[in-house]
């Protein structure tokens, strides 16, 4: 992926990893559009980064995504990069067996259907560009699940699989598919406590290492910072059962 001269759309770009990426790419002189549900958060981010653009998007709505893609094509005809960062993470106790699976359905709609729908809606525009990039955001938890967030982990595993097949199907086009695989990062994904959890990787460090990989390893299809490697390769390393048990015990993931 080239790091300059792009027009980049980042979903969930008003906070956390999305904002960190938006600011890093904006600093390199790219045209950056951040999208999300909360206009106030978008406004705060663009105010802090003059020249950054924003657009409201309800990633759970198929109709809203189609309308949004049409808006992007009209207002940003040279859009050539989309980073699918929007996501939600909620704890679930599977033993409770609730009649309404509200959290699980919202997680699947946001984390999995959202990127699939938005990719489909933007593909005609991306195919027109001289070169383009689709970056998905999975998680180290796609490879070593955290038991307290089962649906979140499942959606991230699905995003990994989707990224592989999307890359293969687009192999004869000028669109590259990258997968960013974050570890546990200090963001507000699971509330304020996560943002200051010493077990989590500082956000600024994660963004800096990610941008370094993008610059120094342009051939990389998976963007893997050092902190995520034990999760990514737990099964390959032959100690998955022990790693899974130890990881979940350490995170207090048992019910």
Q: Which of 143, 152, 162, 184 is catalytic?
A: 152
Is residue 191 over pLDDT 90? no
Is beta strand 31-36 parallel, antiparallel or unpaired with respect to 132-137?
unpaired
Q: What is the pLDDT, as a whole number, of residue 255?
A: 41
Q: What is the pLDDT, as a whole number, of residue 239?
A: 82
- Residue 152 annotated as catalytic: yes
Tell me the C-alpha distance between 170 and 163, whole Å: 10
Mean pLDDT of 87-113: 92
Q: What is the pLDDT, as a whole number, of residue 251?
A: 83
Tell me the C-alpha distance between 218 and 196, whole Å: 32
* Domain layout of the chain by residue ranges: 7-250
Q: Report the topology of domain 7-250.
A: Rossmann fold (3.40.50)
Mean pLDDT of 220-241: 94
Is residue 253 over pLDDT 60? no
pLDDT tens digits, one per residue of 123-153? 999 999 999 999 999 999 999 999 999 999 9
Tell me the C-alpha distance between 167 and 172, whole Å: 10
Q: What's the whole-number average pLDDT of the chain?
A: 95
Which of 9-18, 30-39, 103-112, 182-191 is predicted with the least confidence, judged by mean pLDDT? Answer: 182-191
Q: What is the pLDDT, as a whole number, of residue 254?
A: 45
Q: What is the pLDDT, as a whole number, of residue 213?
A: 98
- Using a pLDDT cut of 70, give the percent of the chain over it: 99
Say what the pTM is.
0.95
pLDDT tens digits, one per residue of 152-190? 999 999 999 999 999 999 999 999 999 999 999 999 887
């Amino acid at each position: 992926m080239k790091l300059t001269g792009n027009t980049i759309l980042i979903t969930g770009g008003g906070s956390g990893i999305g904002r960190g990426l938006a600011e890093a790419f904006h600093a390199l002189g790219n045209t950056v559009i951040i999208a999300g549900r909360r206009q106030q958060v978008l406004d705060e981010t663009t105010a802090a980064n003059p020249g950054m653009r924003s657009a409201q998007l309800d990633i759970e709505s198929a109709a809203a995504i189609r309308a949004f893609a049409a808006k992007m094509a009209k207002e940003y005809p040279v859009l050539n990069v989309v980073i699918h960062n929007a996501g939600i993470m909620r704890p679930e106790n599977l033993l409770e067996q609730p009649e309404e699976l509200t959290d699980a359905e919202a997680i699947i709609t946001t984390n999995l259907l959202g990127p699939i729908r938005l990719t489909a809606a933007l593909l005609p525009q991306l195919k027109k560009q001289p070169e383009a990039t689709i970056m998905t955001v999975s998680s180290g938890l796609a490879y070593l699940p955290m038991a307290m967030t089962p649906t979140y982990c499942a959606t991230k595993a699905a995003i990994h699989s989707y990224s592989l097949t999307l890359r293969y199907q687009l192999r004869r086009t000028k669109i590259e598919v990258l997968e960013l695989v974050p570890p546990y990062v200090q963001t507000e994904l699971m509330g304020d406590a996560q943002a200051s959890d010493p077990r989590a990787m500082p956000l600024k460090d994660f963004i800096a290492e990610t941008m370094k990989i993008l610059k120094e390893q342009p051939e990389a299809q998976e963007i893997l910072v050092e902190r995520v490697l034990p999760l990514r390769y737990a099964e390959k390393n032959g100690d998955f059962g022990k790693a899974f048990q130890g990881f979940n015990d350490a995170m207090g993931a048992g019910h």
